[in-house]
Amino acid sequence: MSKPIIFLVHGYNGTPKIFNYFKETFEKNGHKVVMPLFPTQTNITIDGYFNIFDQYKNDLNDNTIIIAHSIGNIMSLKYLYENNITIRGYISLAGFGEPFISEGRDDLNKVIAPLRLSNKELAKIPKLIGKSFSIYSNNDHIVPFDILKKYPILITAKDCFIPGIGHMGKKSGLEELPEVVNIVNNF
């Protein structure tokens, strides 16, 4: 089998640039890397994400690994479910499958409020995503720890707790995450 396609899905404040480290590293290793620009902040809707996913549907197949950050996780899994797409693997960064309240973030809370993985979605998702991993930390400033800790159980993913890496973005002081590269290299 050829090297997997790496499909990067950013979150709320994200832009594809947050994944430059992954793009450069994976392309250097011979992977095709897809980095769409999804809606951000208060423009986030399920339909908005789905419209962007639709443009890249040919890159989502049984040789694709999705690496999703924060809100990009729930959007990715909902899209796979709705379109019955099977992928090779999935790596969650600060993922969640249910709404939560982020202290002092009314803008974010309004976007998150309607997002939840249903029991029907949760039953089917493990059959669609092959190997799956959920990376989270104890000092995430956005997603509460109990929600992060529950996510790998919800989606039947390997629990990958890494202390001290926050919400895994520049605000957390994190620009590289070699653990993700190692996971991909072991597929």
What domains appear along the chain, each with residue ranges and CATH number? 5-185 (3.40.50.1820)
pLDDT reading at 120 higher than 70: yes
If one compares 175 and 110, the residue with the highest pLDDT of the two is: 110
- Dihedral angle sign, alpha carbons of residues 130, 168, 153, 35: negative
pLDDT per position as a tens digit, 38-77: 877 777 788 888 999 999 999 999 999 999 998 899 889 9
Q: What is the mean pLDDT of residues 169-184?
A: 74
Distance CA 112, CA 4 (A): 31
Distance CA 26, CA 141 (A): 28
Per-residue pLDDT at 116: 81
- What pTM was computed for the model? 0.91
- The answer to whether the CB of 71 falls within 8 A of the CB of 43 is no
Q: Any alpha helices (H) in the chain, and if so which ranges?
A: 20-28, 46-55, 71-83, 106-112, 119-128, 145-155, 178-185
- The answer to whether the CB of 87 falls within 8 A of the CB of 129 is yes
Q: Which band of pLDDT confidence, cut at 50, 70 and 90, is reported for residue 178?
A: confident
pLDDT reading at 20 higher than 90: no
